[in-house]
Amino acid sequence: MFGLGPATRIYLAAGVTDMRKGFDGLYGLVRDRLSCEPLSGHLFLFCNAQRNRLKVLVWDGSGLCNPSTENPQYRL
């Protein structure tokens, strides 16, 4: 599990994101669409077309994480 510090920002990508994208695809979206650095430690949220699922991308200090919002361990 990852902790959120007081300086952590949460970015929500506008529009629809293809939920089939993996780490590389989401990394590219953060760089291109959000103009942010994916390894900054901030949270990047992506929504599907129905707006009922989220995909989260975050750098935890040792690698990129994609915590599942379906797992009760991660509650948003």
Structural domain includes residue 72: no
- Structural domain for 34, as ranges: 10-65
Give the CA angle between residues 49, 53, 54 to the nearest 5°. 105
Structural domain includes residue 15: yes
Domain tally, the chain: 1
Structural domain includes residue 2: no
The residue among 59, 53, 6 whose CA lies nearest residue 30 is: 59
Q: What are the per-10-residue average pLDDT scores of the chain (76 residues)?
A: 80 92 92 94 92 87 73 52
Structural domain includes residue 3: no
Structural domain includes residue 4: no
Structural domain includes residue 75: no
Structural domain includes residue 76: no
